[in-house]
Amino acid sequence: MRYMVVLEQGPSSYGAYVPDLPGCIAAGESEAEVLELIQEAIEFHLEGLKEEGLPVPAPHSSSRIVEVSA
Protein backbone atom coordinates (compact mmCIF):
# COMPACT_ATOMS: atom_id res chain seq x y z
CA MET A 1 0.00 0.00 0.00
CA ARG A 2 1.06 3.54 -0.61
CA TYR A 3 -0.08 6.19 1.87
CA MET A 4 0.32 9.92 1.35
CA VAL A 5 2.57 11.46 3.98
CA VAL A 6 2.53 15.17 4.80
CA LEU A 7 5.91 16.61 5.79
CA GLU A 8 6.29 19.85 7.73
CA GLN A 9 9.52 21.67 8.45
CA GLY A 10 9.63 23.43 11.80
CA PRO A 11 12.27 25.78 13.19
CA SER A 12 14.48 22.93 14.40
CA SER A 13 12.88 19.68 13.29
CA TYR A 14 10.60 17.95 10.80
CA GLY A 15 7.19 16.45 11.38
CA ALA A 16 5.16 13.98 9.35
CA TYR A 17 1.64 12.63 9.48
CA VAL A 18 -0.62 10.37 7.44
CA PRO A 19 -4.09 11.82 6.74
CA ASP A 20 -5.56 8.36 6.09
CA LEU A 21 -4.29 7.03 9.44
CA PRO A 22 -5.35 9.42 12.21
CA GLY A 23 -2.81 9.54 15.02
CA CYS A 24 0.02 8.18 12.86
CA ILE A 25 2.76 10.80 13.28
CA ALA A 26 6.53 11.11 13.52
CA ALA A 27 9.15 13.78 14.22
CA GLY A 28 12.83 13.89 13.42
CA GLU A 29 15.81 16.17 13.08
CA SER A 30 16.02 15.85 9.28
CA GLU A 31 13.71 15.07 6.37
CA ALA A 32 15.45 11.74 5.84
CA GLU A 33 15.03 10.80 9.49
CA VAL A 34 11.35 11.73 9.65
CA LEU A 35 10.64 9.76 6.47
CA GLU A 36 12.28 6.69 7.97
CA LEU A 37 10.36 7.15 11.22
CA ILE A 38 6.98 7.69 9.55
CA GLN A 39 7.44 4.52 7.51
CA GLU A 40 8.06 2.61 10.74
CA ALA A 41 5.06 4.37 12.35
CA ILE A 42 2.79 3.36 9.45
CA GLU A 43 3.88 -0.27 9.68
CA PHE A 44 3.37 -0.26 13.47
CA HIS A 45 -0.02 1.43 13.13
CA LEU A 46 -1.25 -1.11 10.56
CA GLU A 47 0.03 -4.01 12.69
CA GLY A 48 -1.93 -2.67 15.65
CA LEU A 49 -5.13 -2.37 13.62
CA LYS A 50 -4.77 -5.96 12.38
CA GLU A 51 -4.07 -7.28 15.89
CA GLU A 52 -7.20 -5.56 17.18
CA GLY A 53 -9.27 -7.00 14.33
CA LEU A 54 -9.95 -3.57 12.89
CA PRO A 55 -10.04 -2.85 9.16
CA VAL A 56 -6.97 -1.36 7.50
CA PRO A 57 -8.02 1.90 5.84
CA ALA A 58 -7.40 2.01 2.12
CA PRO A 59 -5.30 4.97 1.01
CA HIS A 60 -7.50 7.67 -0.48
CA SER A 61 -5.80 11.01 0.20
CA SER A 62 -4.04 12.90 -2.55
CA SER A 63 -2.28 16.22 -2.86
CA ARG A 64 -1.84 18.97 -5.40
CA ILE A 65 0.24 22.12 -5.50
CA VAL A 66 -1.86 25.24 -6.03
CA GLU A 67 -0.05 28.36 -7.15
CA VAL A 68 -1.40 31.74 -6.04
CA SER A 69 -0.08 35.26 -6.32
CA ALA A 70 0.85 36.81 -3.00
* pLDDT (0 to 100) of residue 33: 98
The pLDDT of residue 35 is 98
Sheet of 6-9: strand order equals: 6-9, 14-17, 25-28
Nearest to 16 by CA among 4, 29, 30, 27: 27
Using only the alpha carbons of the chain, give its radius of gyration.
14
Q: Show the domains of the chain with their CATH numbers.
A: 1-70 (3.30.160.250)
pLDDT of residue 47: 98
pLDDT confidence of residue 70: 86
Report mean pLDDT in 10-residue bins for the chain, 70 residues.
97 98 97 98 98 97 95
Residue 14: the pLDDT is 98
Measured distance CA(19)–CA(9) in Å, rounded: 17
HSE, side-chain direction, 13 A CA sphere, residue 32 = 0
